Chains A and B, each alone.
Chain A
Amino acid sequence: MSEQTKPDSRAASATAMPLIVTLVLFAALALIPLLATFYGGGWLTSLAVRAMLLAIAAISLDLLIGHGGLVSFGHSAFIAIGAYTCGIMITEGVDEIALILPVAMAVAGGFALVSGAISLRTSGVSFIMITLAFGQMVYFALGSLAQYGADDGLTLWAAPGFLGGKWLASDIGVYVTVLLLLIGTWALVHRITGSRFGRVLRAARQNPVRVASMGYPVRRYQLAAYCIAGIIASVAGVMWAVQFAFVSPSLSAWQSSGDLIVMVILGGMASRNGALIGALCFILIEESLSAITNDWRLIFGPFLVLIALYARGGLAGLLDRMRGPQ
């Protein structure tokens, strides 16, 4: 994004420092497969892939929550749509990711277009609830796919090829692909939020009436953001199916959508690295706490309460404050 075209609040405070944090995070993620050869092995890489896929979904959700002020409580439905599209196509014998990915994105985009057009007629709490309703519909619809495992989920017996090659059949191939997708998503979302489109979105969050009176079709902008976020999340879903070779309706359970929201808030909304840090820390905290005790939620629950009560701006905000007032 160009430096001279971002006069608004959060993005303007983006100095060189957050960019270094981003680069450090990406570099650390790139080194994990190397670390895994010494410690953790497949468990570590699979954990990192899970964290990165959730980070992709969280970054796309931040486009809605943080920038658009649209609290979607059904975002994990798009992950599930992507995962199931992949699972069903592979089961049906289409094992080419170059075909699967566009189809998944089209299905997610179509669903986002319809559900978004309906949901965006409401706002505030009603929007939260209606997106929740759509998420639940997807959850139950996936559970009804009798020939694709129904409630029990669907196991993928083959990894998809990439332009005929066996790239995605190896762990490292999947890892690199997911990492590149994460970097791509991060760059894309920041390109979007820094653009005129992103500024209209943020302005509409603060004062939709005024933006509308300036001649912007507010709802169309929000719908576009909703579709973009849904499509990005579906890409994470496709890779989820590839990595774990198993998809189940619980991907779109409302608790999963809740987890995504937690990641965004934990990291800090509408900040350069917030959703990324949030998702990585969420997985890190989950793993390290569950290593200490089976009842890790006893610690994690109150931790969320404290974050909600006291940590305004999330972890990214905390990082900003550690650098002192500017």
Chain B
Amino acid sequence: MSLTLLILQILNGLQLGVILFLIAAGLTLVFGVMGFINLAHGVQYMLGAYLAVFLYGLTGNFVAALVLALPLALLLGLLLEFLVFRHLYDRDHLSQVLATFGVILFLNELMKMLFGPATLSVPPPEFLNFSFKLVDGLLYPAYKLAVIVAGLLVALGLWLVITRTRIGMLIRAGATTPDMVSALGVDVRRLFLCVFGFGAMLAGFAGVMAAPIFAVEPGMGDNLLIVAFVVIIIGGAGSIRGAFVAALLVGLVDTLGRMLVIDGLRLIMNPSAANQVGPAISSMLIYVLMALVLFWRPQGLFAPKAAR
């Protein structure tokens, strides 16, 4: 394995990790603060990507599409909360799984109907449409680096909001002892709505950022959602810091593991067999990681109480 390939894979891993973090951040808050399993959170990511496609077609400008997509993603999130999710907070996990599963089916199909089943894409913005030369013989698209930087900035901003502001304090308190927060006179429902809309917007942001990189298609959020759940289980539900560490960890394990497993298998079997078996085994790595974490530390690496 060459050094350039390693650098490339680390960057790809970071990029996946950052997108995972943007999805997992909202999910972990919704899950940690409200105890609500939202399978439909991946759909918010898909909606973000489709909004990018739609608005780019309308304006012809990626930045304008991004700016317009964020409030729309927020609105769609609040709409879903109002129509469906708020009736589910005090129900058992099973009803939540069923209802949000239904929302996934509906929205995936709706996107398929509105935009067709084919994969779509959005070109990256003009001013980022060039490549960096990292080392000799390795060009890396500036847009992908911009995604990593943007994700890290959002993470920083989120950390400031959570640790330095009043609403952040309420969210932290809500994640550990929601009943006590409610007893102290905080309108928990409104706090939930706030967290929910914000989480939906972050997932939408991830979708817009992902639109030029990944294929935009119905169901694109489903598999990432499962991985985002892996992230919040590893990180500890309700902990932004845990989600951040776990998202980068999962992103790196997934991309680096892909390469290392295939290289490792080549040592013990012939190359063509290794190329076939490798990807599947490396896809299992993050689930093995999650099973190990759940086994040794069921509350996750950074459970909310330990998070500060």
Co-assembled chains A and B: yes
Residues of A within 8 A of B (CB): 65, 71, 73, 118, 121-122, 124-126, 128-130, 132-134, 136-137, 140-141, 143-144, 146, 150, 254-255, 258, 261-262, 265, 269, 295-298, 300-305, 307-309
Shortest C-beta distance, A54 to chain B (Å), equals 16
Q: Which of chain B's residues 268-290 have a Cβ closer than 8 Å to chain A?
A: 273, 276-277, 279-281, 283-284, 287-288, 290
Secondary structure call for the A interface: helix
Q: CA A269 – CA B92 in complex, angstroms?
A: 13
Contact between B105 and A146, CB atoms less than 8 A apart: no
Partner of A262, one of B31, B96, B98: B98
Q: CA A2 – CA B258 in complex, angstroms?
A: 56
Point out the residues of chain A lying under 8 angstroms from B91, CB to CB.
308
Shortest C-beta distance, B108 to chain A (Å), equals 7
* A-B complex: 8 closest residue pairs judged by Cβ atoms: A301-B106, A144-B280, A304-B102, A308-B99, A301-B105, A297-B109, A146-B276, A308-B98
Point out the residues of chain A lying under 8 angstroms from B31, CB to CB.
125
Shortest C-beta distance, A226 to chain B (Å), equals 15
Instruction: Kindly specify which of B145-153, B200-208, B225-233 makes contact with the partner chain.
Output: B225-233
Shortest C-beta distance, A256 to chain B (Å), equals 12
Contact between B298 and A132, CB atoms less than 8 A apart: no
Which residue of chain B has the shortest Cβ distance to A259 in the bound complex?
Answer: B101
Q: CA A303 – CA B102 in complex, angstroms?
A: 7
Contact between A301 and B290, CB atoms less than 8 A apart: no
Point out the residues of chain A lying under 8 angstroms from B294, CB to CB.
121-122, 126, 129-130, 133
Point out the residues of chain B lying under 8 angstroms from A128, CB to CB.
37, 93, 97
Partner of A300, one of B87, B105, B226: B105
Shortest C-beta distance, A295 to chain B (Å), equals 5
Give B78-96 as 1s and 0s: 1 = Cβ < 8 Å from A's Cβ atoms: 0000001001100101111
Point out the residues of chain A lying under 8 angstroms from B102, CB to CB.
300-305, 307-308
Contact between A121 and B298, CB atoms less than 8 A apart: yes
What are 17 A-B residue pairs whose CB atoms fall within 8 Å in the complex? Answer: A71-B97, A124-B93, A129-B230, A129-B290, A130-B294, A134-B291, A136-B287, A137-B288, A140-B283, A140-B284, A144-B276, A265-B94, A297-B106, A301-B107, A302-B106, A308-B91, A308-B102
Point out the residues of chain A lying under 8 angstroms from B279, CB to CB.
144
Q: CA A309 – CA B87 in complex, angstroms?
A: 7
Give B192-219 as 1s and 0s: 1 = Cβ < 8 Å from A's Cβ atoms: 0000000000000000000000000000
Contact between A126 and B291, CB atoms less than 8 A apart: no
Counting chain B CB atoms within 10 Å of each CB, which of A126, A136, A303, A305 scores highest?
A305
Contact between B291 and A118, CB atoms less than 8 A apart: yes
Point out the residues of chain B lying under 8 angstroms from A73, CB to CB.
97
Which residue of chain A has the shortest Cβ distance to B233 in the bound complex?
Answer: A129
Secondary structure call for the B interface: helix
Contact between A71 and B273, CB atoms less than 8 A apart: no
Contact between A298 and B273, CB atoms less than 8 A apart: no
Contact between B284 and A136, CB atoms less than 8 A apart: yes
Point out the residues of chain B lying under 8 angstroms from A121, CB to CB.
294-295, 298
Partner of B276, one of A126, A150, A308: A150
Q: Chain B: interface residue count, which band?
A: 35 or more
Partner of A298, one of B95, B106, B226, B295: B106
Contact between A136 and B226, CB atoms less than 8 A apart: yes
Contact between A301 and B233, CB atoms less than 8 A apart: no
Shortest C-beta distance, A305 to chain B (Å), equals 4
Contact between A309 and B109, CB atoms less than 8 A apart: no
B266 interface residue per 8 A CB criterion: no
Which residue of chain A has the shortest Cβ distance to B101 in the bound complex?
Answer: A258
Point out the residues of chain B lying under 8 angstroms from A133, CB to CB.
230, 287, 290-291, 294
Counting chain B CB atoms within 10 Å of each CB, which of A124, A141, A308 scores highest?
A308
B113 interface residue per 8 A CB criterion: yes
Point out the residues of chain A lying under 8 angstroms from B87, CB to CB.
309
- Given the interface contacts A301-B109, A304-B102, A304-B105, does A126 sit within 8 Å of B298 by beta carbon? yes
Partner of A304, one of B101, B113, B295: B101
Partner of B88, one of A137, A262, A269, A309: A309
B110 interface residue per 8 A CB criterion: yes
Point out the residues of chain B lying under 8 angstroms from A305, CB to CB.
84, 99, 102-103, 106
Which residue of chain A has the shortest Cβ distance to B225 in the bound complex?
Answer: A254
Which residue of chain A has the shortest Cβ distance to B97 in the bound complex?
Answer: A261
Give B108-134 as 1s and 0s: 1 = Cβ < 8 Å from A's Cβ atoms: 111011000000000000000000000
- Given the interface contacts A128-B97, A261-B98, does A297 sit within 8 Å of B277 by beta carbon? no
Q: CA A307 – CA B281 in complex, angstroms?
A: 38
Counting chain B CB atoms within 10 Å of each CB, which of A143, A254, A269, A301 scores highest?
A301
Partner of B226, one of A122, A125, A132, A146: A132
Contact between A144 and B37, CB atoms less than 8 A apart: no
B104 interface residue per 8 A CB criterion: yes
Contact between B112 and A295, CB atoms less than 8 A apart: yes
Contact between A71 and B94, CB atoms less than 8 A apart: yes
B263 interface residue per 8 A CB criterion: no
Q: CA A103 – CA B162 in complex, angstroms?
A: 54
- Given the interface contacts A144-B276, A297-B109, does A130 sit within 8 Å of B226 by beta carbon? no
Q: CA A134 – CA B31 in complex, angstroms?
A: 21
Shortest C-beta distance, A151 to chain B (Å), equals 8
Shortest C-beta distance, B285 to chain A (Å), equals 9
Contact between A301 and B295, CB atoms less than 8 A apart: no
